[in-house]
Amino acid sequence: MKRSLLLTLGLVIAGLSVRNCHQDPRYIKIAVTTDVHGMVFPVDPASGEELDYSLSHVYDYISRQKQAQDTTFFILDNGDFLQGQPAVYYYNFVDTVGEHLSSRIMNFMGYAAGTVGNHDIEAGPEVYNKIREEFHFPWLAANAIHSSTGLPYFEPFTVLKAGSCKIALLGMITPGIPNWLPQKLWPDMHFRDMVETAREWVPLIEETVHPDLLIGLFHSGLDYSYSGSDYHSNLNENATIIVAREVPGFDIIFAGHDHRVNRDWVINSSGDSVLIIDPGSHARYVGEAVITLPPDKKGKASFEGRIIPISAYKNSKAFMKKFRQDLNLVKEYVSDTVVYLAEDIQTIDAIFGPAPVTSLIHELQMKLSNADISFTAPLSVHATLPAGYLRVSDMFDLYRYENALYVMELSGYEIDRFLEYAVSLWFNVMKSPSDHLLLFSDNGSARLKNSAYNFSSAAGIRYTVDLNKTTGDRVTISEMDDGTIFSTDKTYRVALNSYRGTGGGGHLTAGAGIPKDELKNRIVWTSERDLRYYLMQELLDRDTLYPAASDNWKLIPESFYASGKMADKTLLDRQNP
């Protein structure tokens, strides 16, 4: 811990001394949004459907909080703002000249600080570097390190003042980014373990700032066992609870990234209680910490955590007046016609086998890359695209993420192992026609055990999946799609998205057995733009899209498949009418 590090960063606040919070104000209220994913407007830009949650509703909440007596109020954001909805996509990649909509909105709403999320990095350095300059508040990520200087790429922490009370905010980002995003999106940085980073910064903050309250603003979730990790895993994607327990000093930690609403207390290694709040996603909730300060120097502050449903607040007229023109521009953009769709597309069909939506993506990936084989997965489960004119807005249902396209060199053996791994996440081992076809959670609900975006299928080869066989021996690849021999010893050019190509989901590492450090050496080509962009360009060249499912793979025995599909589809339809 060196004070020189703070001096280098220009973060030392001259003349600070230890002062107890008392008498001014009586209450401090700190509210947090997280994983907003572009849910800016209270209306679907394409359908015109009104929503009861959005940042416009959050602004009504903010306005009301600021009217409270004896209370100092702060609004913070915990990352993943720059991806997910047409409004942010438009200002990320279409209208890039003026000030970004996100920075204008967050400045208008009065955000005091924010933490960077992995999907903010996904927008690329041109976007996030521009945004950080436009924000009127610090954007934090102590464990995102500039590769050249060794210092944090973003600001590591900031200090808020509530009367005489000093509140230090330490921000951190999930360090799992290299597992999901190509390095071209984070070319000048690397990511440190969150526990290691907190152990360095907490004593440094305490020594130099002497905060009355220390708050963590972590774009990281609560389940440290997610994706096969454990409590001691280095660079754990969801290390919030571990930091709370292992690094004393925090009073409150706001979590995010996992889209799960949670409010709890954790006992740290010093025996102190730490309040943990995770407000979920998409501006449906705000996480709120209320600190009641003692009336004199002798007392202790008390903490209360709340989860506030934003549907209880109104769509702000002031917000909409300010950003109405932006909404109209986005509506105009998403209403542009892409192609005429001859038949309905149900994205849920891709959960059960070959389907038009995944077949279309396979076709595009093979055409763009000139690859031998393509991998893709269902990226939307419950979307319906009705026959008629397909518009830009529909592309966000067809392809939800801003993934690039990779071509990687894989052996036939690795391709087989990749598919076996995907099947192990996807399909149940059926012993009778009455068994589930899909793998569901063990809690008796109709919730899939694993995320659908890891249910990868292939094109360019012909294969079967045997539902009766044991895990690891269910995929049989018979030949290439053109009838030529498929060999486990041969090297093939394989098209797949950047999330999968950097190790996301574990298909290439845990499945195919390729060391993580070797993945980058297998990449032989990368697209310049995201796959949704290319999908739009491809469809613009067609008059009509005739949805068709490929026939290059199937599930056997067919009688087991048919009965399992019927029962499981009914179950999922009932859960999501």
The DSSP code sequence of 497-517 is: EHHHHTTGGGIIIIIT---GG
**Are 37 and 113 in a shared domain?**
yes
Q: Would you put residue 110 in left (φ > 0), alpha (ψ -120 to 50) or beta? A: left
pTM of the model: 0.85
Q: Work out the percent of the chain whose per-residue pLDDT is above 90.
A: 82
**Are 467 and 570 in a shared domain?**
yes
Helix/strand/coil percent split, the chain, to 5: 35, 25, 40
Neighbour-count burial for 39-54, b at 16+ CB within 10 Å, e otherwise: bbbbbebbeeeebebb
Q: Work out the percent of the chain whose per-residue pLDDT is above 70.
A: 94
List the structure tokens of 357.
């939506």
**Are 319 and 465 in a shared domain?**
no
Task: Show which of 303, 330, 357 is a domain's final residue.
Answer: 330
**Are 326 and 342 in a shared domain?**
no
CA 132/CA 124 separation, integer angstroms: 12
The yes-or-no verdict on residue 548 having pLDDT over 50 is yes
Spatial CB neighbours of 328, under 8 Å, sequence gap ≥ 6: none
17: confidence class by pLDDT, cuts 50, 70, 90: very low
Task: For Cα atoms 104, 110, 116, give the angle at the middle one, nearest 5 degrees.
Answer: 70
CA 254/CA 117 separation, integer angstroms: 13
Q: In this predicted structure, what is the pLDDT of residue 1?
A: 39
Report if residue 144 sits inside a domain. yes
Domain count, the chain: 2
Task: Show which of 330, 358, 392 is a domain's final residue.
Answer: 330
Task: Show which of 300, 330, 360 is a domain's final residue.
Answer: 330
20: confidence class by pLDDT, cuts 50, 70, 90: low
Mean pLDDT of 103-113: 98
The yes-or-no verdict on residue 444 having pLDDT over 60 is no
Mean pLDDT of 146-150: 95
Task: For Cα atoms 118, 119, 125, give the angle at the middle one, nearest 5 degrees.
Answer: 85
Report if residue 301 sits inside a domain. yes
Q: In this predicted structure, what is the pLDDT of residue 46?
A: 60
Q: Give the helix/strand (H/E) hosting 303.
A: strand 302-309
- Could you tell me where the beta strands, DSSP code E, fall in 445-497? 457-459, 461-466, 475-480, 491-497
* Cβ atoms of residues 6 and 14 within 8 Å: no
The yes-or-no verdict on residue 342 having pLDDT over 90 is yes
**Are 300 and 444 in a shared domain?**
no
Domain that holds residue 189: 3-9+27-330
CA 480/CA 488 separation, integer angstroms: 12
Q: Which is higher by pLDDT, 45 or 56?
A: 56
Report if residue 21 sits inside a domain. no
**Are 289 and 431 in a shared domain?**
no
Partners of 476 in the β-ladder = 464
CATH number at residue 570: 3.90.780.10
Q: Which is higher by pLDDT, 572 or 249?
A: 249
List the structure tokens of 526.
């990368």
Q: In this predicted structure, what is the pLDDT of residue 295?
A: 75
Report if residue 40 sits inside a domain. yes
CA 136/CA 117 separation, integer angstroms: 18
Q: DSSP 3-state assignment of 254? A: strand
Neighbour-count burial for 366-378, b at 16+ CB within 10 Å, e otherwise: bebbebbbbbbbb
**Are 305 and 357 in a shared domain?**
no
pLDDT in tens, 409-442: 999 999 999 999 999 999 999 999 999 999 998 7
Mean pLDDT of 289-300: 81
132: confidence class by pLDDT, cuts 50, 70, 90: very high
Residue 314 buriedness (CB in 10 A; 0-12 / 13-18 / 19+):
middle
Task: For Cα atoms 380, 386, 389, give the angle at the middle one, nearest 5 degrees.
Answer: 110
**Are 175 and 83 in a shared domain?**
yes
pLDDT in tens, 242-272: 999 999 999 999 999 999 999 999 999 999 9
CATH number at residue 225: 3.60.21.10
**Are 403 and 513 in a shared domain?**
yes
**Are 46 and 146 in a shared domain?**
yes
Cross-sheet strand order for the sheet of 388-391: 388-391, 337-341, 544-545
Spatial CB neighbours of 340, under 8 Å, sequence gap ≥ 6: 388, 389, 390, 543, 544, 545
Q: In this predicted structure, what is the pLDDT of residue 442?
A: 75
Q: In this predicted structure, what is the pLDDT of residue 12?
A: 35
**Are 354 and 299 in a shared domain?**
no
Neighbour-count burial for 495-524, b at 16+ CB within 10 Å, e otherwise: bbbbbbbbbbbbbbbebbebeeeebeebbe
List the structure tokens of 475.
């995929």
Q: What is the residue type of 92? A: N
**Are 223 and 133 in a shared domain?**
yes
